[in-house]
Amino acid sequence: MSPILLALVAANMLPFAQQSAALSPTTQARAISSDVRLVVRKSSADADAAPPGMVHIPGGRVVMGTEESLVKDLGSNNPQIMTLIAAELPRHEEEVESFYIDRTEVTNRQWKAFLDSTDREPGEELAKYYWVNGEIPDGQEDFPVSLVSFPDVQQFLQWSGKRLPNEAEWTRAARGDDDDRIYPWGPRWDRKKLRSADGAENKPAKVGSYPEGASPFGVLDMVGNVMEWVDSPFDPFEGFKPYNHRIGRKDIPLSPNFSRTNRILKGGSFLDTREGARIDGRRGVDPRDAYEVLGFRCARSMGNGVEAVMHAYDRLLPPRIRRNQLDMSDVFAKEITHYDPATDTIRGYQYLAFAPPAAQRLPNLARIRKDARENQLVLGMLTTSEPLIVEPTGLPPGEYLVTWKTEGESKEYRDKKRARKKDRSRKDDDKETPPAGSAADSSAAAGASSPWPGVNVNDIRDDVDYPQERNVYIFYNVNDAAVGWLISEPVTDEKREPIKATEANNGTEWTIEFSLNTGNREDPRFVIPLKLHGEGLGG
């Protein structure tokens, strides 16, 4: 990258800044034409073949960063540029697990499919500086999309069932096992193998235009064309020390303005020279900004459902469970990607995924039943693109924390009863009825099958401590409000088995079975029956 452009990026002064537009996570895709094929994945065993348009990157060691001895030369002895190069110190190794990555950067055509599917308009800068009247310029359908901010990209990732690669993954996809590769094709600069400032064109190129510049794994355009967002904060590498630049008899320490709120860009762009279009170049940019020289490509984990669960977690942020308490090695997911091979684009993504808690030390099942009367037991996180049929009114597509509550009165409810009895101003202080101001407490309102007899089912949104006659699963939404329930299936102690699910009626009915790993010889086995509204997830 040219020194001038580097300085502008570092200062966040490029003119194309963009604020993200909101997109509801429950936005439904439009009807999808019959020319697409369904790419169906519903178990980890299906994860061997790379998804359409993606490349499998085997796990292994990757070398990252730059040698201190090269900072002065790469920075042309310019303290400002050398400070940016210093962000690559020290050179080190990291381990990367197997994953998938897009063969090319995401194109204008793919971005347009996303916008059309979600009834979303192009961002202000994209429409103003690039797309005319919300349409892709003629002949640029397969150019990399740019002028999209990090929040915009996150909405696309949720819609497509993918994620961004982190910095180590991106570097491994570009470098492979060869430590000496400065560029994806090798150690020496070759301007004919990428779109850069060393060529005649001062603009991006159609993705895949430089096949000779592919990485060892066949990934294209990893340097040049447009820079790419990765899902890593702009932190220093472990062991970082400021670079001491000697001027005369003085050493001037050079240290970049690291910031965890900024995200990293990789790969350089069509405005870069050999110094900026290296594998190890890294720049930190405010995620709210969008640049003409900045695009992205997607990644995906080997295990099915991982991205759906992680996107759901980021939106749900359940207070009862932390991310490291989910068992991401034992996730159930049914995923359907609507893929158009003629245009190499995704047209939609449907899913049902459930992740139970990670292994935890719990007592035996009898004690668990007793404890779950007082404190609901967290069973995991459910996320789906399809509406759910649950009591009392059904649930829209979204993400939900699922808990288990056992029959009987909890201590909290008994305390509430005692408090009401002490309230002399209350006329019916000794009756076991909901507090004043709540919904009517009629059996007819509750429904004959309600586990809360005499209580309107809508009251569980505010207070789930009413005594119940049956065990129930309770669903909590992003506001940590109880919004639905199901009668619990019998829970038994069994030898621990992996999570499994069975479907019926063309994917409209599902039964998810999973064990809570309590460390005992036998573990509680839960069975959650689910019904999906509409056409379901058959196939």
Domain co-membership, 520 together with 445: yes
Domain co-membership, 331 together with 225: no
Domain co-membership, 314 together with 393: yes
Q: 273-301: buried (b, 16+ CB within 10 Å) or exposed (e) per residue?
A: bbbbbbbbbbbbbebebbbbbbbbbbbbb
pLDDT of residue 52: 92
Instruction: Return all residues near 109 (Cβ < 8 A) that are at least 6 apart.
Output: 136, 141, 142, 343, 344, 345
Residue that finishes a domain, picked among 284, 301, 318? 301
Q: Which has more pLDDT, 466 or 399?
A: 399
pLDDT of residue 41: 60
Instruction: Return all residues near 407 (Cβ < 8 A) that are at least 6 apart.
Output: 373, 451, 467, 468, 469, 470, 471
pLDDT of residue 329: 86
pLDDT of residue 481: 86
pLDDT of residue 36: 61
Average pLDDT of span 144-152: 93
Question: Has residue 431 got a pLDDT over 70?
Answer: no
Q: Is residue 10 part of a domain?
A: yes
Q: Is residue 195 part of a domain?
A: yes
Alpha carbon distance 337, 31 (integer Å):
14
Choice among 131-140, 280-289, 332-341, 419-428 with the minimum mean pLDDT: 419-428
| CA of residue 135 relative to chain centroid, distance | 28
CB atoms within 10 A of CB 341: 12
- Provide the domain count of the chain: 2
pLDDT of residue 452: 79
pLDDT of residue 100: 97
Assess contact for 331 and 305: CB atoms under 8 A.
yes
Q: Is residue 186 part of a domain?
A: yes
Domain co-membership, 293 together with 347: no
Domain co-membership, 185 together with 171: yes
Q: Is residue 536 part of a domain?
A: no
**How is residue 498 written in tokens?**
């992996």
pLDDT of residue 443: 34
CB atoms within 10 A of CB 449: 9
Interstrand relation of 283-285 and 523-531 (parallel, antiparallel or unpaired): unpaired
Using 50, 70 and 90 to split pLDDT, how confident is the model at 361? Answer: confident
Alpha carbon distance 358, 519 (integer Å):
11
- CATH of residue 264's domain is 3.90.1580.10
Nearest to 153 by CA among 381, 349, 350, 311: 311
Residue that finishes a domain, picked among 249, 270, 301? 301
Q: Maximum distance among all alpha carbons in the chain?
A: 89
Q: Is residue 26 part of a domain?
A: no
Rg of the chain over all Cα atoms, to the nearest angstrom: 27
Alpha carbon distance 58, 63 (integer Å):
15
Alpha carbon distance 499, 412 (integer Å):
33
Domain co-membership, 312 together with 267: no
Average pLDDT of span 235-262: 93
Domain co-membership, 277 together with 314: no
Q: Which has more pLDDT, 16 or 341?
A: 341
Alpha carbon distance 30, 223 (integer Å):
35
What residues does 344 pair with on adjacent strands?
none
Question: Has residue 387 got a pLDDT over 90?
Answer: yes
Domain co-membership, 326 together with 249: no
Nearest to 143 by CA among 190, 90, 105, 107: 107
Alpha carbon distance 82, 187 (integer Å):
21
Instruction: Write the pLDDT tens digit of every residue in 304-346.
Output: 899 999 999 888 876 666 655 888 888 999 999 999 999 999 9
Assess contact for 533 and 387: CB atoms under 8 A.
yes
Average pLDDT, the chain: 85
Average pLDDT of span 9-37: 35
Q: Which has more pLDDT, 206 or 437?
A: 206
Choice among 108-117, 290-299, 300-309, 354-363 with the minimum mean pLDDT: 354-363
Alpha carbon distance 199, 34 (integer Å):
42
Range of the domain at 206: 3-17+103-301
Q: Is residue 145 part of a domain?
A: yes
- Amino acid at position 363, single letter: P
What residues does 265 pair with on adjacent strands?
229, 283
Q: Is residue 25 part of a domain?
A: no
Q: Assign 530 to helix, strand or coil.
A: strand
Q: Is residue 177 part of a domain?
A: yes
Q: Give the count of alpha carbons within 13 A of 234, CB side only.
A: 23
- DSSP tag of 222: S
Domain co-membership, 313 together with 295: no
Residue that finishes a domain, picked among 268, 301, 334? 301
Domain co-membership, 339 together with 246: no
Instruction: Write the pLDDT tens digit of every residue in 466-492.
Output: 888 899 999 999 888 888 999 999 999
Using 50, 70 and 90 to split pLDDT, how confident is the model at 45? Answer: very low
pLDDT of residue 249: 85
Domain co-membership, 214 together with 343: no
What percentage of the chain carries pLDDT values higher than 70?
A: 83
Q: Residue 524, class by beta-carbon neighbours within 10 Å (0-12 exposed, 13-18 middle, 19+ buried)?
A: buried
Domain co-membership, 408 together with 296: no
